[in-house]
Amino acid sequence: MSQLNPMPTLFGKRVLLGVSAGIAAYKSAHLARLLKKASCEVRVVMTEGAQAFITPLTLQALTGEAVRTSLLDPEAEAGMGHIELARWAELILVAPATADVMARLAHGHADDLLTTLCLASDADCIMAPAMNQAMWAHPATQANVATLHRLGWRLLGPDGGEQACGDVGPGRMREPEALVAELSMAPQDAPSSTAPDVAPTVRDAEALRVTITAGPTHEALDPVRYLSNHSSGKMGYALAEAWARRGAQVHLISGPVSLATPSGVERVDVTSASEMLAAAEHAAAESDIFIGCAAVADYRAEHIAEHKLKKTDAHETLTLTLVKNPDIVAEIAARSPRPLVIGFAAETQNVERYARDKLTRKGMDMIVANDVSQAGLGFGADDNAALLLWRDGDDTDSQALPPQPKTTLADAIVDRVLTLYAHRAPMAHD
């Protein structure tokens, strides 16, 4: 693990860490330590239930500050301590955020110290959800997620995987290292809803219609063989899940993958590039944003054999004639009117140069480029890193996202796309 160095956006920042009653509270100790290591001032507030999972003494030892646990602490409240604490905080981070605390914050409850502070503070508010996968998928929780986004909360996670209860699925609290990496982004990399050049709804995608392509395509050679690539679809599915959490209407066009459809996402399955193009053109006509995340095969067989191609002793080689597949992202970008168009570039060398060329040549608004030659990143992996490039008038701006879980990366990409859309929405359908 690389050493965490203090970042300008975290150095000296006053962080109020809220810990609620979930098994993931054990991660809060490591999170507090990392925040202190990043030169933050950290104070901790725990709910009553959180103290059943981790002791206040542990967090006090790690932060060097007394841990607050009660709204009705006579000693603290003699000086209106909860209001002073609310004013002190520059950033409120609730980690873990259980389904219960999310519901109470979504509906404006202030029945303990943590929820009272959240309502009484003007600080930036971020939470890291953590709960059973069924609780996360429940319509009531998803409705609360949409409400929290409207209220200005930023949600980091949850991640998918095996849970303490034995279930597998989305609901794991994001790892402390990933949370601190997100918080360390420069302001332009993580836009604030209070920034003068960002629309106030930059984190609210409820009214947006988003189409995403994901996974590989299979280009048939004969009834049993095909050309394809190593794409697993994980990045596209993480994006679909992230957009759905923000309240967008998500239309997922998926090549052949072995992934479950994210909650609240409409999925259409296709096999070939031609089928994906047809589905994409149909969906793009009704979309505000189009994201071409699929690894579409560049070529297909000129002729598909009617029967299985047989291997014979007489021929040591087999010659295939391939023809170019349609470029789906370029086709959508050339439409008029058209949605905001985002593409992906999986490269093994000269990543930025090739990405800049594709951004211009295909007429996209933004491209997400990654180096798939790096071990543990890209195709089939759970983690990825990316370089975002987008057009800003005649110039091209960029943002580098470090290696992190694809679920985390998806949220960062959504943030950037929402900012682009907020700036360019009046022109999106010209």
Q: Which residues are annotated as a binding site for CTP?
A: 292-294, 298, 308, 326-329, 344, 358, 362
Whether 357 contacts 389, CB under 8 Å: no
Tokens representing residue 43 in the block:
């104070």
User: Is the Cα torsion angle 263, 269, 271, 273 positive or negative in sign?
Assistant: negative
DSSP 175: P
The amino acid occupying position 421 is Y
Tell me the β-bridge partners of 366.
342, 390
Concerning whether 165 is annotated as a catalytic residue, the answer is yes
What residues have CB less than 8 Å from 86, skipping those under 6 apart?
Answer: 116, 117, 120, 121, 123
Tokens 């596209």 appear where? 236
Amino acid at 267: R
User: If DSSP codes are grouped into helix, strand and coil, which group holds residue 236?
Assistant: helix
Pairwise CA distance, residues 127 & 179, whole Å: 10
Q: With b meaning 16 or more CB within 10 Å and e meaning fewer, what string describes 104-114?
A: bbbeeebebbb
Question: What's the order of all strands across the beta sheet hosting 91-97?
Answer: 41-46, 14-19, 91-97, 124-129, 154-155
Which DSSP helix (H) or strand (E) runs through 85?
helix 81-88
Q: Which of 146, 154, 158 is nearest to 249 (CA)?
A: 146
Q: State the Cα–Cα distance between residues 357 and 181, nearest whole angstrom.
A: 29
Are 205 and 414 in contact by the 8 Å Cβ rule? The answer is yes
> Per the residue annotation, which of 40, 118, 125, 165 is the catalytic one?
165
Closest CA to 294 of 211, 389, 382, 224: 211
| Phi–psi pair at 314, nearest 5 degrees | -75, -20
User: Annotated active-site positions, please?
Assistant: 165
